[in-house]
């Protein structure tokens, strides 16, 4: 494990969705140096086989390790579902955190967790990764899932709270109208962009919205504190992508709400 407090936190995703995780980490840990890797040449991962996803995840993990990172965050639900253990093994003694485990723990820490809702991509919902993660801790908790594939293109278009977005959300979230969920996990890293809109669409102020980006950022903060690796005088942010750096930069600035100047194209 790197004992260098100035070493970077590595964050990776299949594309740009993981920037919501990066934003949460920047907010929670403003003094940390961050390296973000977006595999923009091979996105989306959700339609790939598990073997291919594992191969990609190991290549990216190798890349981040070559940069001397002190921690790796898997900011991709598909990788978290299919290749978390592979990345853990490859990283050795470098801590590896993932959005599914973090989101699950936050949902189960809620005062009432007898029924948890999950929204995600088709791949994440079909994998039942959240359901398995929840039931591994509390088998009696009921889980209702809903795939929301159109939310990703809406988020990338910047259509967050217009009529098209709210009607699309209403259609998807109608499955939760009569099932009385206690909390709703946003099981895709694009979905936190809709976090302020969802409660109004659900028409329920009592449902706790679980943002796995915030959850993993908080877990990262606590882990670094326990290891004595919190940085006190950093704050750099650099990005590596495998294709279309200009498009990535435009979307990154929208997701992060800040200028992004350091986007480097790299080939694994």
pLDDT value of residue 144: 96
Q: How confident is the model at residue 262 (pLDDT cuts 50, 70, 90)?
A: confident
Q: Note down the domain range covering 153.
A: 101-212
pLDDT value of residue 234: 81
Mean pLDDT for 6-24 is 94
Do 109 and 85 lie in one domain? The reply is: no
Alpha carbon distances (Å) from 106 to 11, 68, 92, 162: 20, 29, 26, 29
pLDDT value of residue 138: 94
Residue 125 is assigned to a structural domain of this protein: yes
Residue 4 is assigned to a structural domain of this protein: no
To the question of pTM greater than 0.75 for the whole model, the response is: yes
pLDDT value of residue 49: 85
Number of domains the chain is built from = 2
Do 111 and 91 lie in one domain? The reply is: no
Residue 63 is assigned to a structural domain of this protein: yes
Residue 250 is assigned to a structural domain of this protein: yes
Mean pLDDT for 130-142 is 95
CATH number at residue 143: 3.40.50.1860
Whether residue 44 contacts residue 15, with contact meaning beta carbons closer than 8 Å, is answered with yes
**Residue 57 pLDDT exceeds 90:** yes
Do 69 and 119 lie in one domain? The reply is: no
pLDDT value of residue 208: 92
pLDDT value of residue 124: 86
**Which of 10 and 16 is assigned the larger pLDDT?**
10
**Residue 239 pLDDT exceeds 90:** yes
Do 143 and 191 lie in one domain? The reply is: yes
Do 118 and 195 lie in one domain? The reply is: yes
**Residue 43 pLDDT exceeds 90:** no
Residue 44 is assigned to a structural domain of this protein: yes
Average of per-residue pLDDT values in the chain: 92
Dihedral of CA 234/238/81/251: which sign?
Answer: positive
pLDDT value of residue 2: 60
Mean pLDDT for 24-35 is 96
Helices (H) and strands (E) in the chain, counts: 11, 10
Do 41 and 59 lie in one domain? The reply is: yes
Q: Is 148 a catalytic residue?
A: no
**pLDDT tens digits along 150-187:** 998 999 888 999 999 999 999 999 999 888 899 999 99
Do 92 and 220 lie in one domain? The reply is: yes
Do 234 and 143 lie in one domain? The reply is: no
DSSP letters, 35-83, are: EEEE-TTT---TTS-HHHHHHHHHHHHHHHHHTT-SEEEE--HHHHHHH
**Residue 92 pLDDT exceeds 70:** yes
Mean pLDDT for 64-71 is 97
Closest CA to 97 of 110, 80, 82, 81: 80
**Residue 260 pLDDT exceeds 80:** yes
Residue 3 is assigned to a structural domain of this protein: no
Strand partners, 173: none
Write down the catalytic residue from 25, 76, 91, 94.
76
Give the rounded percent of residues in the chain with a pLDDT score beyond 90.
Answer: 72
Write down the catalytic residue from 188, 213, 224, 260.
188
pLDDT value of residue 206: 83
Domain boundary (195, 212, 229) is at: 212
Whether residue 63 contacts residue 238, with contact meaning beta carbons closer than 8 Å, is answered with no
CA distance 206 to 152: 26
pLDDT value of residue 169: 97
């Amino acid at each position: 494990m790197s004992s260098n407090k100035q070493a970077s936190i590595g964050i990776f995703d299949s594309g740009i969705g993981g920037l919501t995780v990066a934003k949460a980490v920047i907010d929670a840990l403003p003094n940390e140096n961050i390296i973000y890797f977006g595999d923009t040449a091979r996105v989306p991962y959700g339609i790939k086989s598990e073997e291919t996803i594992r191969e990609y995840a190991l290549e990216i993990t190798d890349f981040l390790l070559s940069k001397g990172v002190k921690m790796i965050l898997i900011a991709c639900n598909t990788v978290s579902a299919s290749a978390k253990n592979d990345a853990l093994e490859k990283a050795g003694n470098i801590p590896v955190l993932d959005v599914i485990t973090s989101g699950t723990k936050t949902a189960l820490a809620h005062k009432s967790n007898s029924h948890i809702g999950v929204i995600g991509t088709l791949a994440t919902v079909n994998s039942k990764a959240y359901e398995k993660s929840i039931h591994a801790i509390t088998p009696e908790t009921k889980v209702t899932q809903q795939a929301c594939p159109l939310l990703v293109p809406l988020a990338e278009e910047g259509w967050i709270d217009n009529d098209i977005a709210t009607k699309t959300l209403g259609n998807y979230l109608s499955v939760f109208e009569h099932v009385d969920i206690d909390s709703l996990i946003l099981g895709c890293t694009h979905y936190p962009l809709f976090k302020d809109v969802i409660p109004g669409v659900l028409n329920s102020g009592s449902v706790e919205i679980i943002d796995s980006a915030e959850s993993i950022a908080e877990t990262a903060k606590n882990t670094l504190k326990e290891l004595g690796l919190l940085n006190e005088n950093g704050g750099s942010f650099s990005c590596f992508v495998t294709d279309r750096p200009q498009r990535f930069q435009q979307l990154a600035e929208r997701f992060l709400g800040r200028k992004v100047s350091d986007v480097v194209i790299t080939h694994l």
